[in-house]
Protein backbone atom coordinates (compact mmCIF):
# COMPACT_ATOMS: atom_id res chain seq x y z
CA UNK A 1 0.00 0.00 0.00
CA UNK A 2 1.02 3.61 -0.55
CA UNK A 3 3.15 5.39 2.06
CA UNK A 4 0.96 7.75 4.01
CA UNK A 5 1.21 9.66 7.29
CA UNK A 6 -1.11 9.33 10.29
CA UNK A 7 -3.97 11.83 10.08
CA UNK A 8 -4.83 13.35 13.46
CA UNK A 9 -8.59 12.75 13.58
CA UNK A 10 -9.60 9.33 14.92
CA UNK A 11 -12.08 7.38 12.85
CA UNK A 12 -15.32 6.33 14.49
CA UNK A 13 -14.30 7.02 18.08
CA UNK A 14 -17.93 7.85 18.94
CA UNK A 15 -18.95 4.25 18.29
CA UNK A 16 -16.43 2.61 20.57
CA UNK A 17 -18.04 3.54 23.89
CA UNK A 18 -21.50 2.36 22.89
CA UNK A 19 -22.89 -0.58 24.82
CA UNK A 20 -25.78 -1.18 22.45
CA UNK A 21 -26.34 -0.67 18.71
CA UNK A 22 -26.91 2.93 17.61
CA UNK A 23 -29.92 3.97 15.57
CA UNK A 24 -28.20 3.72 12.21
CA UNK A 25 -31.01 5.69 10.52
CA UNK A 26 -30.06 8.57 12.79
CA UNK A 27 -26.31 8.07 12.40
CA UNK A 28 -26.56 8.30 8.59
CA UNK A 29 -29.61 10.56 8.47
CA UNK A 30 -31.17 8.14 5.99
CA UNK A 31 -32.77 4.74 5.63
CA UNK A 32 -31.42 2.05 3.32
CA UNK A 33 -29.43 -1.17 3.31
CA UNK A 34 -26.77 -1.39 6.03
CA UNK A 35 -23.52 -3.08 4.97
CA UNK A 36 -20.38 -4.02 6.86
CA UNK A 37 -16.80 -4.43 5.68
CA UNK A 38 -14.09 -6.14 7.74
CA UNK A 39 -10.51 -4.97 7.19
CA UNK A 40 -11.00 -2.38 4.46
CA UNK A 41 -7.43 -1.13 4.20
CA UNK A 42 -7.53 2.42 2.85
CA UNK A 43 -10.97 1.87 1.36
CA UNK A 44 -10.33 1.16 -2.31
CA UNK A 45 -13.58 -0.81 -2.37
CA UNK A 46 -15.55 1.12 0.24
CA UNK A 47 -15.07 4.58 -1.26
CA UNK A 48 -15.97 3.60 -4.81
CA UNK A 49 -18.83 1.32 -3.73
CA UNK A 50 -20.33 4.07 -1.56
CA UNK A 51 -20.00 6.54 -4.40
CA UNK A 52 -21.87 4.19 -6.74
CA UNK A 53 -24.51 3.25 -4.14
CA UNK A 54 -25.49 6.40 -2.24
CA UNK A 55 -28.58 4.65 -0.83
CA UNK A 56 -26.41 2.12 1.03
CA UNK A 57 -25.16 2.87 4.55
CA UNK A 58 -21.68 1.39 4.82
CA UNK A 59 -19.65 0.71 7.96
CA UNK A 60 -15.98 -0.16 7.42
CA UNK A 61 -13.72 -1.56 10.14
CA UNK A 62 -9.98 -1.19 9.79
CA UNK A 63 -7.76 -1.58 12.82
CA UNK A 64 -4.71 0.16 11.31
CA UNK A 65 -5.23 3.79 12.28
CA UNK A 66 -3.31 5.17 9.32
CA UNK A 67 -5.52 3.40 6.82
CA UNK A 68 -8.77 4.01 8.67
CA UNK A 69 -8.12 7.73 9.04
CA UNK A 70 -6.98 8.07 5.45
CA UNK A 71 -10.19 6.39 4.28
CA UNK A 72 -12.27 8.71 6.46
CA UNK A 73 -10.35 11.72 5.14
CA UNK A 74 -10.92 10.67 1.52
CA UNK A 75 -14.63 10.07 2.15
CA UNK A 76 -15.01 13.59 3.53
CA UNK A 77 -12.88 15.16 0.83
CA UNK A 78 -15.03 13.58 -1.88
CA UNK A 79 -18.35 14.27 -0.12
CA UNK A 80 -19.11 10.58 0.45
CA UNK A 81 -21.62 10.76 3.30
CA UNK A 82 -22.77 7.13 3.40
CA UNK A 83 -19.53 5.71 4.81
CA UNK A 84 -18.56 5.43 8.48
CA UNK A 85 -15.07 4.20 9.27
CA UNK A 86 -14.19 2.65 12.62
CA UNK A 87 -10.54 2.21 13.59
CA UNK A 88 -10.83 -0.88 15.78
CA UNK A 89 -10.70 -4.64 15.90
CA UNK A 90 -13.96 -5.60 14.26
CA UNK A 91 -14.24 -8.77 16.37
CA UNK A 92 -14.56 -6.76 19.59
CA UNK A 93 -17.28 -4.36 18.47
CA UNK A 94 -19.66 -6.14 16.12
CA UNK A 95 -21.99 -7.61 18.75
CA UNK A 96 -22.39 -4.21 20.40
CA UNK A 97 -22.95 -2.21 17.22
CA UNK A 98 -25.29 -4.31 15.09
CA UNK A 99 -28.59 -5.99 15.85
CA UNK A 100 -29.19 -9.55 14.69
CA UNK A 101 -30.61 -9.64 11.18
CA UNK A 102 -29.75 -6.00 10.47
CA UNK A 103 -27.06 -6.31 7.79
CA UNK A 104 -27.75 -6.52 4.06
CA UNK A 105 -24.16 -7.55 3.35
CA UNK A 106 -20.89 -8.49 5.01
CA UNK A 107 -17.76 -7.98 2.91
CA UNK A 108 -14.41 -9.59 3.59
CA UNK A 109 -11.79 -8.90 0.95
CA UNK A 110 -8.30 -10.38 1.12
CA UNK A 111 -8.20 -11.06 4.87
CA UNK A 112 -4.66 -11.33 6.22
CA UNK A 113 -3.66 -15.01 6.04
CA UNK A 114 -1.64 -14.83 9.33
CA UNK A 115 0.87 -17.47 8.32
CA UNK A 116 2.74 -17.60 11.64
CA UNK A 117 1.42 -19.93 14.31
CA UNK A 118 1.67 -17.13 16.91
CA UNK A 119 -0.65 -15.01 14.78
CA UNK A 120 -3.30 -17.68 14.29
CA UNK A 121 -5.49 -16.06 16.93
CA UNK A 122 -5.92 -13.08 14.59
CA UNK A 123 -7.57 -15.16 11.87
CA UNK A 124 -10.97 -13.60 11.27
CA UNK A 125 -13.20 -16.36 9.95
CA UNK A 126 -13.25 -18.78 12.86
CA UNK A 127 -16.35 -20.95 13.24
CA UNK A 128 -17.61 -18.81 16.16
CA UNK A 129 -17.06 -15.48 14.43
CA UNK A 130 -18.72 -16.83 11.29
CA UNK A 131 -21.79 -17.76 13.36
CA UNK A 132 -21.88 -14.23 14.74
CA UNK A 133 -21.68 -12.73 11.24
CA UNK A 134 -24.42 -15.07 10.06
CA UNK A 135 -26.65 -13.94 12.92
CA UNK A 136 -26.11 -10.27 12.04
CA UNK A 137 -27.02 -10.80 8.38
CA UNK A 138 -30.63 -10.30 7.34
CA UNK A 139 -32.38 -13.24 5.63
CA UNK A 140 -31.20 -13.19 2.02
CA UNK A 141 -28.18 -11.08 3.03
CA UNK A 142 -24.93 -11.34 1.07
CA UNK A 143 -21.53 -12.58 2.23
CA UNK A 144 -18.91 -11.30 -0.21
CA UNK A 145 -15.56 -13.08 0.19
CA UNK A 146 -12.48 -12.47 -1.94
CA UNK A 147 -8.95 -13.75 -1.52
CA UNK A 148 -5.86 -14.67 -3.49
CA UNK A 149 -4.77 -17.46 -1.12
CA UNK A 150 -6.08 -20.67 -2.70
CA UNK A 151 -6.14 -23.09 0.20
CA UNK A 152 -7.49 -20.43 2.58
CA UNK A 153 -10.20 -19.67 0.04
CA UNK A 154 -11.35 -23.31 0.19
CA UNK A 155 -11.15 -23.35 4.01
CA UNK A 156 -13.13 -20.12 4.39
CA UNK A 157 -15.74 -21.19 1.88
CA UNK A 158 -16.18 -24.50 3.73
CA UNK A 159 -16.54 -22.61 7.05
CA UNK A 160 -19.16 -20.28 5.58
CA UNK A 161 -21.15 -23.09 4.01
CA UNK A 162 -20.92 -25.21 7.20
CA UNK A 163 -22.33 -22.25 9.16
CA UNK A 164 -25.41 -22.31 6.94
CA UNK A 165 -24.71 -19.77 4.21
CA UNK A 166 -25.99 -20.87 0.82
CA UNK A 167 -23.84 -20.92 -2.25
CA UNK A 168 -26.05 -20.27 -5.29
CA UNK A 169 -23.38 -21.79 -7.56
CA UNK A 170 -23.27 -25.04 -5.57
CA UNK A 171 -21.14 -26.15 -2.61
CA UNK A 172 -17.46 -25.28 -2.94
CA UNK A 173 -17.95 -23.21 -6.10
CA UNK A 174 -16.27 -19.85 -6.58
CA UNK A 175 -17.78 -16.93 -8.41
CA UNK A 176 -16.38 -15.83 -11.77
CA UNK A 177 -14.96 -12.33 -12.09
CA UNK A 178 -17.72 -9.79 -12.59
CA UNK A 179 -16.52 -6.67 -14.41
CA UNK A 180 -19.49 -4.74 -12.98
CA UNK A 181 -18.24 -5.31 -9.42
CA UNK A 182 -16.02 -2.76 -7.68
CA UNK A 183 -12.54 -4.27 -7.15
CA UNK A 184 -10.78 -3.78 -3.82
CA UNK A 185 -7.34 -2.17 -3.69
CA UNK A 186 -5.60 -5.53 -3.56
CA UNK A 187 -7.86 -7.01 -6.18
CA UNK A 188 -6.91 -4.25 -8.63
CA UNK A 189 -3.30 -5.34 -8.27
CA UNK A 190 -4.16 -8.96 -9.08
CA UNK A 191 -6.41 -7.99 -11.96
CA UNK A 192 -3.44 -6.14 -13.44
CA UNK A 193 -0.95 -8.98 -12.83
CA UNK A 194 -3.33 -11.79 -13.82
CA UNK A 195 -2.84 -13.60 -10.49
CA UNK A 196 -5.88 -15.72 -9.58
CA UNK A 197 -8.50 -14.38 -7.19
CA UNK A 198 -11.07 -16.59 -5.47
CA UNK A 199 -14.48 -14.97 -5.05
CA UNK A 200 -17.51 -16.34 -3.24
CA UNK A 201 -20.93 -14.71 -3.03
CA UNK A 202 -23.05 -16.55 -0.48
CA UNK A 203 -26.54 -15.83 0.84
CA UNK A 204 -28.14 -16.27 4.21
CA UNK A 205 -31.19 -18.49 3.70
CA UNK A 206 -34.51 -16.66 3.64
CA UNK A 207 -35.84 -18.93 6.41
Smallest separation (angstroms) from ligand SAM to the CB of 31:
27
Q: CB-wise, 30 or 181, nearer to ligand SAM?
A: 181
Q: CB-wise, 24 or 61, nearer to ligand SAM?
A: 61
Q: CB-wise, 39 or 141, nearer to ligand SAM?
A: 39
Distance (Å, rounded) from C-alpha 207 to C-alpha 195? 37
Reference 204, options 159, 150, 161; nearest CA is: 161
Question: What does the buried/exposed string (b/e) look like for 143-162 if buried means 16 or more CB atoms within 10 Å of the residue's CB?
Answer: bbbbbbbeebbeebbebbbe
Phi-psi region at 111: left, alpha or beta (left = phi > 0; alpha = psi -120 to 50): beta
Smallest separation (angstroms) from ligand SAM to the CB of 83:
14
112 included as an active-site residue: yes
Smallest separation (angstroms) from ligand SAM to the CB of 9:
18
Residue 54 phi, psi dihedral angles, 5° rounding: -65, -15
Within 79-124, residue ranges assigned H as helices are: 90-97
Q: CB-wise, 91 or 203, nearer to ligand SAM?
A: 91
Distance (Å, rounded) from C-alpha 26 to C-alpha 45? 24
Residue nearest ligand SAM, CB atom distance: 39
Catalytic residue, from 23, 25, 89, 112: name it: 112
Note the residues at the interface with ligand SAM (CB under 6 A). Answer: 39-41, 44, 61-64, 67, 89-91, 109-112, 124, 184-187
- Exposure of 91 in the CB half-sphere (CA atoms within 13 A): 11
Smallest separation (angstroms) from ligand SAM to the CB of 11:
11
Residue 133 phi, psi dihedral angles, 5° rounding: -60, -40
- Give the residue numbers annotated as catalytic, written as ranges: 112
Amino acid sequence: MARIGLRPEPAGKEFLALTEPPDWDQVFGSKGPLELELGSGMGGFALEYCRRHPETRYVAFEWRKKYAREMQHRARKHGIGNLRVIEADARAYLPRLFRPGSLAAVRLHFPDPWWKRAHQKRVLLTADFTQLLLSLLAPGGLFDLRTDVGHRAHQMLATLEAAGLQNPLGPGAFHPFDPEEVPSTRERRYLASGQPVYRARLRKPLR
